[in-house]
Amino acid sequence: MSVYDMLRKMRDSFSNQQYEIPLKVINDYQIYELELEKIFSRSWIFLGFEEEIPNIGDYMVRYIGPDPFIVIRGDDNRIRAFFNSCRHRGSMICTSEYGNARKFTCPYHGWSYDNKGKLIGVPLRDRIYKNLDMEKWGLIEINVEKYENLIFGSESPRISLSEYLGEAKYYLDIIFKLTGGMRPVNTPLKFTADFNWKIGAENFSEDRLHTVVTHKTVADFGFASPVSRFGYITPGTNEVSIADLKDTEGKVIGAFGFRFTPGEHIPGYFGFRINSTFKDPRGNLLKKISHTVFTIFPNLSGFIAADSSDGSRKDRAPVSLLRVWQPLGPDKTLIQTWVIAPKNTSDEIAKRVYEITVSHFGPGGAAEQDDTSIWRGITQVARGNFSKMNTTNLKAEPDLPPLEEWEGPGIVRPMQFHEECQRTFWRRWIMEILGDEK
């Protein structure tokens, strides 16, 4: 069976509501190359926060798939992103992850560029490059747009970032706008692991089913509240899943899960104490929320969980993060994690949030180790030829109907123990991979 035959079979399975996925799509180099071409080069990818490059000349190097880009605030205060490659012979011109620069000089032959990407210097130009068009040979720039203080880049977008996020903005606003804005507490934590990027992105699409098995010890040892996502509560009005959020082209873009903690012992706003009043009706929703998890296609995920800790006798605070699953191949992923907190959170509380978040989702975090050990196993067994014949499935159906009185977009159900949200991710994935392929 060819790769395209396998992918068409998967597409037909989703069209027929069977939701079967060949295991081989997890670990196949041809599929990885298709993902780079058809997904990562055309999607809006999160690159970082404005706060990471606050001053003119500040830069950070970030990636779209394996492609490195210099994200820099130019002399005109505009944020741009340039392919980190000299136009002369292709050498990487910026080898530092962060810094401040008025110009970049290639270490190979000395071509130099200003912080707006313009070619400004070529050694021996007057003698041997007399016909070189300096305007033509500046650094290659990609599209950059912002949602609030979040910076996104796209190599060849079909639609604007706002159109791309579409209905997901209704819920992103609750986190990144109505709170007064979220800020990064740290530069991103980075570590690599031997699993396919799609597993992580799918998991954060509200895979509640795995939490009570994979992460049982997190709740058992008191590191998370029993009413949190890590505990088991009979489905009801204390939680919702939100699937099939769409962009302005009608393509599914993401899924969310929210939990509403009953009682007064955990404050709203995801456990952060914020004194705010809201004219926006979504403010009433924000006041009730204690936990959320989400994925925006293809590889941006977030997780906030109130009432967490890294020790039974330590102060409790939220786990709060945003992360990117950067593919380094079909069987390797770079996980980049930003710990986030409301902008008006004190440094003392932000430090505690950082400590707790890293204890759960850092390179040696408890929840991280639970997940990645399993994800490595999935990726490993997907490597061989027999995995083409092994289909996995997302057949778990919700047994409660959508909420009719819910004001926001998406398919909203008062339960999370199903696989409707994960199907949102895979539906978009197979649509992009095959495109117009018949």
- Summarised one tens digit per residue, pLDDT across range 11-28 is 999 999 999 999 999 999
Identify the DSSP state of 403: P
Please work out, in degrees rounded to the nearest 5, the angle formed at the alpha carbon of residue 275 by the alpha carbons of 273 and 219.
20
- pLDDT band at 239; cut points 50, 70, 90: confident
Between CA 312 and CA 222 the distance in angstroms is: 6
pLDDT for res 231: 40
- Summarised one tens digit per residue, pLDDT across range 133-164 is 999 999 999 999 999 999 999 999 999 999 99
- Summarised one tens digit per residue, pLDDT across range 205-230 is 876 655 665 555 555 544 445 444 43
Between CA 96 and CA 73 the distance in angstroms is: 16
Kindly list the distances between the CA atom of residue 16 and the CA atoms of 3, 12, 23, 433, in Å, as whole numbers in the listed order: 20, 6, 19, 18
Domain spans in the chain, listed from the N-terminal domain onward: 45-146, 163-434
276 pLDDT exceeds 60? no
Higher pLDDT, 372 or 310: 372
The rounded percent of the chain whose pLDDT value lies above 90 is 65
Retrieve residue 85's tokens.
Answer: 């490659």
pLDDT for res 221: 47
Q: Which fold has domain 45-146?
A: Rieske Iron-sulfur Protein (2.102.10)
Between CA 323 and CA 337 the distance in angstroms is: 4
Backbone dihedral angles phi then psi of residue 145, each to the nearest 5 degrees: -140, 165
The rounded percent of the chain whose pLDDT value lies above 70 is 87
pLDDT for res 287: 74
- pLDDT band at 238; cut points 50, 70, 90: confident
- Summarised one tens digit per residue, pLDDT across range 242-260 is 999 999 999 999 999 998 8
- pLDDT band at 416; cut points 50, 70, 90: confident
Between CA 84 and CA 404 the distance in angstroms is: 49
Domain at 163-434, CATH from 3.10.180.10, 3.90.380.10, 2.30.30.90, 3.40.50.300 = 3.90.380.10
- Summarised one tens digit per residue, pLDDT across range 165-188 is 999 999 999 999 988 899 999 999
- pLDDT band at 263; cut points 50, 70, 90: low
pLDDT for res 230: 38
Retrieve residue 408's tokens.
Answer: 């926001």
Retrieve residue 16's tokens.
Answer: 């027929």
268 pLDDT exceeds 70? no
- Summarised one tens digit per residue, pLDDT across range 44-55 is 999 999 999 999
Q: Stretch 88-117: mean pLDDT, rounded?
A: 97
Predicted TM-score (pTM) of the model is 0.91
327 pLDDT exceeds 90? yes
- pLDDT band at 271; cut points 50, 70, 90: low
